[in-house]
Structure 1
């Protein structure tokens, strides 16, 4: 892995009050779950309704689903205990973990039998970019700075395969969401861009973008998929119930809304590959988060 009836959680509480609530709310009667704003917020909220219903039934308590304004606000909400559960992107989880050591990844999306996905680099069909080396000298559209498949991984892929460095050999342009990247490239405002392959195919299926106006340039190596993450100070029985609610989820329609066929158990070590990717790119996790 979206605002009306769901987006009511107090994500902008003062940090002190949030920290106090975080320390006290080990077994809250209401759980707040945040979803990553990697697409249009209204689409995410629409897709989230069945998951909210499932969790309320499985956990026997109210569940409030929110979409934060950007990746950084989601990281800060987790850090200060304003949310109990979050569906992070892989790299935004790594950034969150660097600020909030107590949070725990517990489930990862599985697609086609694998807990991984890929980034795709696309170009305008009639534009100047036909292969990765052609990125040199052109603006390239990326999503949020903390996005895995729409920033971190594609930049590392270009570096490893061509030696081209962002901001030295090509201009880095952040446009926010994955769908904004696709639209930017299709319109020609940037001749090349990167986003999640799964989101790319979803945008095609929904006719948000047109296949004939875009070409595939490259795919990344497999990336560990989006993790579900919870606050580590929740009561043990509640944490187990939350794990079970995701790991035992079998509703195909609900799962398709999150572009997965199921959830498998995961842990922090699964995301070390992204810490290494950030190191290769000379990114300071502390400064980014």
Structure 2
């Protein structure tokens, strides 16, 4: 699903250099090259390997060179969008809300649809033979999240726990492991007794045999979360923005859609992500200061 999945064309290191380098484009509203960033919520080399069909498609449709970038983490992608170092960003839902608070002119335009729905869920898991059998057992124990700006691997499950009276760093120890797959592996191995990640990424890890489901117990699923949004810089020329939006919304190639874990891309608006802002309020988070 178009979720979580927060690429580059040669190596992650090359992408980081590209983001750090100054931009000398004569006209930022219609750059000679389009830089498109995907969220680093899984192994970057895997994303890079799978990204080439998207790059070729966009270059053919948009008639411009395309650079696919994977940033080191959610925060660096937000900053890249904020300072105009990328033209298109594929954010996680909450990282989009954070980015929008820092760069109000960015525009969400697309959201993935999977099994007919433009949303997904977070899954809370525990080690099968570990001490956590139900949510109440998390009290007093470590709980693993992914990136701090992740929706399904931090914000949504942390809000769910808060609604159950379990407050991070007061009722349980908060542990951040960065990536979704790292959370699943740590819980399966018993390195942490429980954790949370995208339910879809969890299912993919099971299907590809990267984790053994018999070593994991499902504790709960979060409320539905709007899928990952595709966003574009508001300062681009209208005709270029329209072309970018059409290129993604018209995507039909299943190989490329699989990269986003979706079956189609539908239109999205900023209002669709108000549910994330509500979750932040439950956790008493001021997104403008994160």
Matched, 1:45 2:48: yes
For 1:6 and 1:172, how far apart are their aligned partners in 2? 32
Partner residue in 2 for 1:199: 201
Partner residue in 1 for 2:132: 129
Greater alpha carbon shift after TM alignment, 34-43 vs 247-256: 247-256
Instruction: Choose the corresponding residue for 1:282, options 267, 281, 284.
Output: 284
Partner residue in 2 for 1:166: 168
* RMSD of equivalent CA atoms: 1.4
Partner residue in 2 for 1:263: 265
Partner residue in 2 for 1:12: 20
Q: How does 1:55-66 map to 2 (within 5 A)?
A: 55-66=58-69
The 3-state SS of whatever aligns with 2:68 is strand
> Are the aligned partners of 2:95 and 2:150 in contact in 1 as well (CA < 8 Å)?
yes
User: 1:253: how far off?
Assistant: 2.0
The 3-state SS of whatever aligns with 1:193 is strand
User: 1:4: how far off?
Assistant: 5.9
Q: Which runs of 4+ in 1 moved over 6 A?
A: none
Partner residue in 2 for 1:214: 216
Provide structure 2 residue ranges, at least 5 long, that are not aligned to the other structure. none
> Are the aligned partners of 2:140 and 2:173 in contact in 1 as well (CA < 8 Å)?
yes
User: 1:29: how far off?
Assistant: 1.7
Matched, 1:98 2:98: no
Q: TM-score, with normalisation over the residues of structure 2? A: 0.94
The 3-state SS of whatever aligns with 2:51 is helix
Partner residue in 2 for 1:80: 83
The 3-state SS of whatever aligns with 2:248 is helix
> Are the aligned partners of 1:179 and 1:203 in contact in 2 as well (CA < 8 Å)?
yes
Partner residue in 2 for 1:68: 71
Instruction: Choose the corresponding residue for 1:109, options 108, 112, 115.
Output: 112
Partner residue in 1 for 2:236: 234
Partner residue in 2 for 1:245: 247
Partner residue in 2 for 1:152: 155
The aligned length equals 282
For 1:132 and 1:109, how far apart are their aligned partners in 2? 30
Greater alpha carbon shift after TM alignment, 184-193 vs 250-259: 250-259
For 2:27 and 2:255, how far apart are their aligned partners in 1? 36
> Are the aligned partners of 2:9 and 2:69 in contact in 1 as well (CA < 8 Å)?
no
For 2:203 and 2:209, how far apart are their aligned partners in 1? 10
